Chains A and B, each alone.
Chain A
Amino acid sequence: MKLGILINEGPYQHQASDTALQYVKAAIKKGHEIYRVFFYNDGVNNATRFATPPKDDRNITNEWSNLAKEHGVDLVVCVAAAQRRGILDKGEAERNGKDSDNIADGFRISGLGQLVEAGIQADRLITFGD
């Protein structure tokens, strides 16, 4: 099946992103296709490459980036939610007069339409949040 995933909370503060990671890995192992992972609300905070957790703990951002790299998972960050919370790619940084960008590998910034499209095209949409 094609699965759409919506993540509404940031890393570490809530278990949402961790549960989503475990779910996605299990789904891939079972041969399902992850149509898209959409990050909304504080979920956009999963996409900063500046996260520096302790070395003996998991690096949630990197885990998502690795899924993108190894399995081609489409990681989309909502542009409006990202702007509010300061997650920017190069284009957004330039457009908004910021001196730097911070988006991690494998993530891309796009509109809420990508979430709706995932709802339409995927067989199931599962939300992980507060």
Chain B
Amino acid sequence: MKMLHTVNKSPFENSTVISCISMCAKNSSILFIEDAVISVMKSTKFSNTISNSLKDFKMYALKPDLEARGLSLDNVIEGVEIVGYEEFVDLTTEHDSVQSWL
């Protein structure tokens, strides 16, 4: 079953992003929302982890949350797809289930 995982906390705040990545099955997807969009920016100490994980899962980041935080869309790690709320809805219906990591 293809699962969509959502994460909402910055990787600098707690280890949820890392826990999610370590437990995400291959062929699942991860959507970064709210403060977790910080995870997908280039040049952070987590950037390599995120880039390497793109081999195993698709990753998405919510555009309104990036823009709200003044994070440039040009600075998002290549391979992470930037989406809006409508695509967020599509992701939840296209996957078999959703796990929100809290």
Do any CB atoms of chain A lie under 8 A from CB atoms of chain B in the complex?
Answer: yes
Binding site for B on A (CB under 8 A): 1, 3, 8, 15-16, 19, 22-23, 25-27, 29-30, 32, 123-130
Count how many chain B residues have C-beta atoms less than 8 Å from C-beta atoms of the other chain: 19
Would A27 and B89 be within 8 Å (CB), given that A19-B33, A22-B64 are in contact?
Answer: yes
Q: Which residue of A19, A23, A125 contacts B89 across the interface (Cβ within 8 Å)?
A: A23
6 closest A-B pairs (Cβ-Cβ)?
A127-B100, A26-B85, A129-B102, A15-B34, A26-B86, A27-B89
Would A19 and B34 be within 8 Å (CB), given that A8-B102, A126-B98, A129-B102 are in contact?
Answer: yes
CB of B93 within 8 Å of the partner chain: yes
Contact assessment for B92 and A22 in the assembled complex, using a CB-CB cutoff below 8 Å: no
B30-41 Cβ-contact flags toward A at 8 Å (1 or 0): 000111000000
Q: Which residue of B6, B9, B85, B93 contacts A22 across the interface (Cβ within 8 Å)?
A: B85
Complex: chain A residue closest to B95, CB-CB: A124
A26 neighbours in B (Cβ, 8 Å): 84-86, 88-89
Contact assessment for B93 and A124 in the assembled complex, using a CB-CB cutoff below 8 Å: yes
CA distance A124 to B84 in the complex (A): 19
Contact assessment for B100 and A129 in the assembled complex, using a CB-CB cutoff below 8 Å: yes
Complex: chain A residue closest to B88, CB-CB: A23
Complex: chain A residue closest to B100, CB-CB: A127
B92 neighbours in A (Cβ, 8 Å): 3, 124, 126
Q: Shortest beta-carbon distance, A40 to chain B, in Å?
A: 11
Pick 13 A–B contacts, CB within 8 A, sort by A: A15-B8, A15-B34, A16-B8, A19-B33, A22-B64, A26-B84, A26-B85, A29-B86, A125-B98, A126-B98, A126-B100, A129-B100, A129-B102
Would A30 and B86 be within 8 Å (CB), given that A19-B33, A124-B92 are in contact?
Answer: yes
Highest count of chain B CB atoms <10 Å: which of A1, A127, A129: A127
Known: A19-B33, A22-B85, A130-B8. 19 other contacts (CB 8 A): A15-B8, A16-B8, A19-B8, A23-B85, A23-B89, A26-B85, A26-B89, A30-B86, A30-B89, A32-B89, A123-B93, A124-B92, A125-B98, A126-B98, A127-B98, A127-B102, A129-B8, A130-B9, A130-B102
Complex: chain B residue closest to A130, CB-CB: B102
